[in-house]
Protein backbone atom coordinates (compact mmCIF):
# COMPACT_ATOMS: atom_id res chain seq x y z
CA UNK A 1 0.00 0.00 0.00
CA UNK A 2 1.38 3.40 -0.98
CA UNK A 3 1.62 6.03 1.72
CA UNK A 4 2.25 9.71 1.14
CA UNK A 5 5.47 11.26 2.42
CA UNK A 6 4.89 13.81 5.21
CA UNK A 7 7.59 16.07 3.74
CA UNK A 8 7.02 16.11 -0.03
CA UNK A 9 3.66 14.37 -0.46
CA UNK A 10 5.03 11.72 -2.84
CA UNK A 11 3.03 8.50 -2.79
CA UNK A 12 5.57 5.67 -2.83
CA UNK A 13 5.32 1.89 -2.50
CA UNK A 14 8.58 1.76 -0.50
CA UNK A 15 7.73 4.48 2.01
CA UNK A 16 8.66 3.89 5.65
CA UNK A 17 7.44 5.03 9.03
CA UNK A 18 9.40 6.60 11.87
CA UNK A 19 8.00 6.84 15.38
CA UNK A 20 9.12 9.72 17.60
CA UNK A 21 7.41 9.72 20.95
CA UNK A 22 3.71 9.32 20.24
CA UNK A 23 3.95 10.69 16.67
CA UNK A 24 4.28 8.57 13.53
CA UNK A 25 5.78 10.03 10.35
CA UNK A 26 5.81 8.56 6.84
CA UNK A 27 8.71 9.29 4.49
CA UNK A 28 9.75 8.25 1.00
CA UNK A 29 13.49 8.90 1.57
CA UNK A 30 16.06 9.64 4.25
CA UNK A 31 16.40 13.13 2.78
CA UNK A 32 12.72 13.84 3.48
CA UNK A 33 13.03 12.34 6.97
CA UNK A 34 15.96 14.64 7.75
CA UNK A 35 13.94 17.71 6.75
CA UNK A 36 11.47 17.03 9.56
CA UNK A 37 13.49 15.09 12.15
CA UNK A 38 17.05 16.49 12.07
CA UNK A 39 17.67 19.59 14.19
CA UNK A 40 19.03 22.80 12.69
CA UNK A 41 22.34 24.33 13.73
CA UNK A 42 21.56 27.50 15.67
CA UNK A 43 24.38 29.35 13.91
CA UNK A 44 24.49 28.27 10.24
CA UNK A 45 21.05 26.59 9.99
CA UNK A 46 22.38 23.41 8.36
CA UNK A 47 20.69 20.12 9.24
CA UNK A 48 22.61 18.25 11.92
CA UNK A 49 22.91 14.70 10.61
CA UNK A 50 25.84 13.61 12.74
CA UNK A 51 26.65 14.09 16.40
CA UNK A 52 26.71 17.86 16.48
CA UNK A 53 27.18 19.48 19.87
CA UNK A 54 24.79 20.88 22.44
CA UNK A 55 25.79 23.85 24.58
CA UNK A 56 23.39 25.06 27.27
CA UNK A 57 20.45 23.42 25.50
CA UNK A 58 21.29 24.89 22.07
CA UNK A 59 22.28 22.63 19.15
CA UNK A 60 25.19 23.34 16.81
CA UNK A 61 26.61 21.30 13.95
CA UNK A 62 30.17 21.83 15.23
CA UNK A 63 32.26 23.66 17.82
CA UNK A 64 33.23 26.26 15.20
CA UNK A 65 29.58 27.40 14.95
CA UNK A 66 29.16 27.33 18.74
CA UNK A 67 32.22 29.55 19.18
CA UNK A 68 30.82 31.99 16.60
CA UNK A 69 27.78 32.29 18.86
CA UNK A 70 30.06 33.14 21.80
CA UNK A 71 30.09 29.70 23.46
CA UNK A 72 33.53 29.63 25.10
CA UNK A 73 35.38 26.34 25.29
CA UNK A 74 33.18 24.50 22.76
CA UNK A 75 35.07 21.52 21.35
CA UNK A 76 34.20 18.87 18.81
CA UNK A 77 34.50 15.30 20.04
CA UNK A 78 37.85 13.75 19.27
CA UNK A 79 38.65 10.05 19.37
What is the C-alpha separation between 36 and 29, in angstroms, rounded? 12
Say yes or no to pLDDT of 1 above 70: no
Range list of H helices, the chain: 30-37, 63-68
- What is residue 51's predicted lDDT score, i.e. its pLDDT? 87
- What is residue 23's predicted lDDT score, i.e. its pLDDT? 97
- What is residue 66's predicted lDDT score, i.e. its pLDDT? 95
pTM score over 0.85: no
For 16-39, how does the pLDDT look when each residue is reduced to its tens digit (9 = 90+)? Answer: 999 999 999 999 999 999 999 999
Pairing relationship of beta strands 11-12 and 3-4 according to DSSP bridges = antiparallel
Say yes or no to pLDDT of 4 above 80: yes
Amino acid sequence: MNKSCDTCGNSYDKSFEVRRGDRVFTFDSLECAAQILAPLCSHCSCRILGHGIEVSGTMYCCAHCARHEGKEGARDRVG
